[in-house]
């Protein structure tokens, strides 16, 4: 069975889970992977662009440990950073429309659209 692998310069849907979000418990964001550095033992460092974060502090780097990884998603726990849990999966236009009220009807692929509009 193949498993989802994160590719540099590629966009993904991300859900961040943390008690700091209060009643909402999670936050959503398109993320663009800059780099993934394997650390061994299901651990890795993820450098990425966090599109739904304030301007000037959108470049992030988290040390993570994989909890579950399959062909559809990667679910990981933070090793010291907040948020505590991160779910990453392929991004789609319907996901952008649902979480950000965007009208993303386009002939472009979702990754091309994000590169032009984010």
* DSSP, residue by residue, 28-67: EEEEEEEEEEEEETTEEEEEEEETTS-TT--EEEEEEEEE
Q: How many domains does the chain have?
A: 1
Predicted confidence at residue 58, as pLDDT, reads: 84
**Inter-residue contact 102 to 35 (CB < 8 Å):** no
Q: Which residue segment(s) compose the domain that 52 sits in?
A: 11-117
Q: With a cut of 90, say whether residue 75 has pLDDT above it.
A: yes
Which pLDDT band, with edges at 50, 70 and 90, does 1 fall under?
A: low
**Which residue shows structure tokens 């990425």?**
48
Q: With a cut of 90, say whether residue 46 has pLDDT above it.
A: yes
C-alpha–C-alpha distance, residues 99 and 15, integer Å: 11
Predicted confidence at residue 14, as pLDDT, reads: 96
Report if residue 98 sits inside a domain: yes
Report if residue 6 sits inside a domain: no
pLDDT tens sequence across 9-23:
999 999 998 876 667
């Amino acid at each position: 069975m193949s498993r989802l692998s994160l590719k540099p310069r590629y966009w993904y849907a991300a859900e961040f889970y943390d008690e700091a979000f209060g009643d909402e418990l999670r936050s959503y964001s398109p993320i663009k992977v800059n780099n993934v550095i394997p650390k061994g033992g299901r651990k890795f460092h993820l450098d990425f662009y966090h599109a739904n974060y304030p301007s000037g502090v959108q470049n992030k780097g988290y040390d993570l440990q994989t909890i579950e990884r399959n062909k559809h998603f990667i679910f990981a726990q933070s090793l010291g950073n907040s948020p505590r849990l991160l779910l990453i999966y392929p991004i789609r236009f319907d996901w952008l429309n649902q979480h950000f009220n965007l009208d993303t009807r386009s002939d472009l692929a979702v990754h091309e659209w994000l590169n032009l509009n984010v």
